[in-house]
Structure 1
Amino acid sequence: MSGFLYRYSGVGAWAVVLYAAHRITTGKRAGVSVFRFQQFSVQQGQSGMKVCTDATLFGAMAPVMSGEKVLDIGTGTGLLALMAAQLGAGSVTAVELNREAFGEARSNFRNSPWNVHLQAVHADIRKYAATCNESFDLIISNPPFFQRHSKSSDDLRKLARHTDELAYPELLACAAKLLSDDGRLYLLLPVMAVAQIREEAGKSGLFLSRRINLKGYARNRAKVAALLFSRTELKYEEKELTIYRAEREYSKESERFLAPFLLRFADAGKTVGRASARQ
């Protein structure tokens, strides 16, 4: 296999609910879809993984500070890069290995209000890191969730879900090279991988400072976690966020983050300010 990082499709009913609620079919080919947000749209016919709840919430919680230089590793459709731009990033560079997904992300950027702030790069992140002379204030990535486990049958999905080609230590090494001295690394990972990632990150001089465990409902166990790393050992914080309070009803906390993005909150988004994940 010769690919690496894209979007995780999510596990559980909440991912299906979000996708089904917003997917529309366009053109003559079935399956070509567009996911519409309040301020931008995401064409997602070429990327292996589609827009889903956990990735959207992860992007909405991104600790982007105004004017920062952001790098999105494995941008896929460009979702996280677009969200970072909406949150106030000064510039966002989005690296994507797959040519078709890269083209789709570039198109999504061009059609967004932040075209001048977004750059899509078709490259292997390892080669990009080896030659890049820039540093970034924030690196974000939603890497694939499975490492050397059973493969899915669909080729695009397989490319998006497995890390046989680029292991976690390589991702962390690339991030460590590209981060500024006070930069942060923000990852969405399965709970089962957090201990491994934390250990590997330490070898690259990156320390876990915040962990937010995401679960669908109060009765569920968290399956994914949003992790924030820095070069300095800071006081460690861990919390839990429940996405839904009832079927198709977001919790108040997740609604605070999602209100500026999802169409269902278009009116509320005008009055509900962006909640800071740093609080």
Structure 2
Amino acid sequence: MRRKGTFQFKQFSVAHDRSTHKIGTDGVLLGAWADVSNARYILDVGTGTGVIALMMAQRTAEPVLIDAVEIEKEDREQALQNVLQSPWASRISVHHTAIQKFSPSHQYDLVISNPPYFINSWKPPEKKRSQARHTHELSFDELLSAASRLLAPTGRLAVILPYQEALQFTGSAKDHGLHIVRRMEFRSRAHKPVERLLLEFSRQAADVKDESLILHDQGEEWSEDYRRLTRDFYLKS
């Protein structure tokens, strides 16, 4: 359900009229897929509207605490607004800072991010939009360095990226002592190429658990697998 500038989920709503990026499939997909088991502290890097942080809160319970970091002031203000209007305001803290400068008092069991991914492509003229979509403000190396610094010994990093960028990110992760342990290929339709890879990394190497998901089976109807994954969030799932 959509009101002007607002996206309504089953248990919370997200205003995104002032945010650089609007609610989209990538963030919801990652928020629903990420493994939150055994997580006590969760960090959402580049929270934008706060949707992933809110999904993390819905999928967990006290005493789990979530930190959300956002470099863009107006986005941070809108994320904070969304958090304060949610049922989990006491468990989510929204920080206006760059992840490179973020120094919390604890490490995280899960670091999650829908990161910027345009590396060498044309940059849109609007500064905010460019910053949110391009890696010149947060490179893959900087995100991986932050994750390596902030993850607990048994912590995990979860991201979503386009296919080619995901391959590059996976290669770079090894240089930071992070190993791919779970991976999901996402396609809009069965005959389409892989459009996104959802990746989970750990400090401990392990056999990779491979998964796949298709958005549409026929026509514009969502597949049963996609409905199952997102049913706790989307009103129509």
TM-score normalized by the length of structure 2: 0.95
Q: Distance in 2 between matches of 1:148 and 1:102?
A: 27
For residue 71 of structure 2, the aligned residue among 97, 111, 115 is: 97
1:196 aligns with 2:168: yes
Residue in structure 2 matched with residue 175 of structure 1 by the alignment: 147
1:36 aligns with 2:36: no
Residues of 1 paired with 2:220 and 2:232: CA distance? 18
Shift of 1:215: 0.8
CA distance in 2, matches of 1:189, 1:226: 7
In structure 2, the residue matched to 1:275 is none
Residue by residue over 1:244-270, the C-alpha shift from the partner in whole angstroms, topping out at 9 and shown as x without a partner, is: 1123311111111111101113xxxxx
Distance 1:121 1:243 in 2: 33
Q: CA deviation at 1:66?
A: 5.7
**Structure 1, residues 172-217: CA drift from partner, whole Å, max 9, x if none?**
0000000000000000111101222112111111000111011111
1:124 aligned residue: 98
Within 5 Å, give how 1:244-259 maps onto structure 2: 244-259=216-231
The separation in 2 between residues aligned to 1:67 and 1:105, in whole angstroms, is 22
**Residues 41 and 66 (structure 1), Cα distance of their counterparts in 2 relative to 1, 3 Å cut:** farther
> C-alpha distance in 2, partners of 1:61/1:67?
14
Partners of 1:170 and 1:58 lie apart in 2 by: 20
CA 1:140–1:154: 2 relative to 1, 3 Å = same
Equivalent-residue separation in structure 1 for 2:189 and 2:101 (angstroms): 41
Match of 2:131 in 1: 159
Q: Distance in 2 between matches of 1:42 and 1:251?
A: 24
Is 1:111 the equivalent of 2:90?
Answer: no
Structure 1 vs Structure 2 CA RMSD: 1.3
- Residues 24/247 of structure 1: CA separation in 2 closer, same or farther (3 Å cut): farther
C-alpha contact (below 8 Å) 1:66/1:88 kept by paired residues: no
* Structure 1 spans left out of the alignment, 5+ residues: 1-21, 26-32, 266-279
- The share of aligned pairs that are identical, in percent, is 36
Asked if 1:135 is matched to 2:114, the reply is no
Report SS of the residue matched to 2:233: coil
Residue 97 of structure 1 and its aligned partner are, at CA, apart by 0.4
- Paired with 2:97 and 2:107, the residues of 1 have a C-alpha distance of 17
- The alpha carbon displacement at 1:147 in A equals 1.0
TM-score normalized with structure 1 length: 0.81
